[in-house]
Structure 1
Amino acid sequence: MTDYSSLTALKTRLGLETADTSADTLLASALTSASRSIDRTCGRRFWLDPAVVQRTFNPRGRIVREDDGDLFLVDDIGSTAGLVVETGSGSSWTALTDYETSPDNALADERPITGLLRVLGTWGSATTRLRITAQFGWPSVPDDIAEATLIQATRLYKRKDSPEGIIGSAEWGVRNLSRRDPDVWALIEPYILPGFG
């Protein structure tokens, strides 16, 4: 698992000296918690597998019938290096090459592949499974996700000074922390998968 920003960036955001390591454990914990919270809220992760991984999918509920063929919705795929698509079940698998990745130009736009289109074809019967070997995740961490991570990690780090969820300021007085940071939400909302958030 990868954090979506760096310790150095978080220290800069907080106005801390980068050479000061006294708070590194708390800062690292805040970064990791913020990153994993974004993953859970969005229903996806934004780091790329370091090597190809094999996953098996049941096509039920994952196929969209399009005019030009069946689109199989897959977990985010962040690279076509080592991509292998097979249909079958049990110990009998057949490799396929007659598919297109979707959306068009996803990787060139630094977005993941989210579907495989069988042009003018289908993905098989209800008992067929799809086995995909790929680097799952995103090609790179989107800038919005990195910024949301920094905002949320800053908030989590400062939370140690407001154990009851109350913060004080000479300008604003005493107030409760909101349950959800509106800036974090605005940054991550476009990346949330349907059914999450």
Structure 2
Amino acid sequence: MANEYVTLAELKSQFGVEPTDTSRDTDLNRARASASRSIDTTTGRRFWLDPAPVQRTFTPRGRIVRDDDGELFLVDDIGSTTGLVVETGSGSSWSAVTGYETSPDNALADARPITGLRRVLGTWGLSTSRLRVTARFGWPAVPDDIHEAALILASRLYKRKDSPEGIIGSAEWGVRNLSRRDPDVWNLIEPYIIPGF
């Protein structure tokens, strides 16, 4: 298991399971992995950071925003400028690009990702070429809201084994159906959903 937004120890603590009790580890790990990947799928992004720079190629169609300040090329979340390389071209012919700014301003300082590369008062000139970016993609750190949502969702998924038909019961409330979407999880992750995703 890797890149989960909640640790096994945190999930064990949620259920009062002793750290030395490994009898439920498989189920708990499956729940936390599923919760984390579900959050990724719902938001359209991932909140873990690549351990090393990775190369991705982007086509300009639908990714360039033009305004008075120049052209902004929208990229996948970039969580670190370490190893950041930007190139234009296609096939085996690529040229390094300089003279761009990252956007939004102060993103990494605010623990947010870089989501665009701006050519100030200029254009990317990419009508027939592509943009290749080598970077550490993801978020600089997992936001607290995402961590909490993963903890709630993993707990819910783990307990789901006790209600295989989606029905739960208690002495106080009687029998009821589980809701499709946990409102607390949704409220925590909704601000992170990529617009238009």
Normalised TM-score (structure 1): 0.97
| Aligned: 1:138 with 2:146 | no
Please list the CA deviations of residues 82-111 of structure 1 after superposition, one character each: whole Å capped at 9, or x if unmatched. 000011112221111100000000001110
Please list the CA deviations of residues 158-194 of structure 1 after superposition, one character each: whole Å capped at 9, or x if unmatched. 0010111011112211110000000000000000012
| Aligned: 1:8 with 2:9 | yes
Provide the residue aligned with 1:35 in structure 2.
36
> What is the one-letter code of the residue matched to 1:70?
E
| Aligned: 1:67 with 2:68 | yes
1:77 CA displacement? 0.2
Which sections of structure 2, spanning at least 5 residues, go unmatched? Answer: none
| Aligned: 1:128 with 2:129 | yes
Between the aligned partners of 1:177 and 1:65, the Cα distance in structure 2 is 46
Provide the residue aligned with 1:193 in structure 2.
194
After superposition, residues 76-87 of structure 1 pair within 5 angstroms as 76-87=77-88
Between the aligned partners of 1:78 and 1:63, the Cα distance in structure 2 is 20
Judge which range, 167-176 or 102-111, deviates more. Answer: 167-176
Q: 3-state SS of the aligned residue for 2:50?
A: coil
Please list the CA deviations of residues 34-73 of structure 1 after superposition, one character each: whole Å capped at 9, or x if unmatched. 0000000000000001110011110111000011100000
Provide the residue aligned with 2:155 in structure 1.
154
Provide the residue aligned with 1:92 in structure 2.
93
Question: Conserved in 1, the CA contact under 8 Å of 2:60 and 2:126?
Answer: no
Between the aligned partners of 1:19 and 1:171, the Cα distance in structure 2 is 33
Between the aligned partners of 1:61 and 1:146, the Cα distance in structure 2 is 31
1:125 CA displacement? 3.4
Q: 3-state SS of the aligned residue for 1:193?
A: coil
Between the aligned partners of 1:19 and 1:167, the Cα distance in structure 2 is 29
Between the aligned partners of 1:10 and 1:30, the Cα distance in structure 2 is 9
Task: After the TM superposition, list the runs of 4 or more consecutive aligned residues in structure 1 that deviate by more than 3 angstroms.
Answer: none
- Cα RMSD, aligned residues only: 0.8
Between the aligned partners of 2:16 and 2:171, the Cα distance in structure 1 is 19
Between the aligned partners of 2:47 and 2:83, the Cα distance in structure 1 is 19
Between the aligned partners of 1:170 and 1:17, the Cα distance in structure 2 is 27
Between the aligned partners of 1:179 and 1:2, the Cα distance in structure 2 is 25
> What is the one-letter code of the residue matched to 1:20?
D
Judge which range, 8-17 or 105-114, deviates more. Answer: 8-17
Please list the CA deviations of residues 9-39 of structure 1 after superposition, one character each: whole Å capped at 9, or x if unmatched. 0011112112111000000000000000000
Between the aligned partners of 2:151 and 2:105, the Cα distance in structure 1 is 31
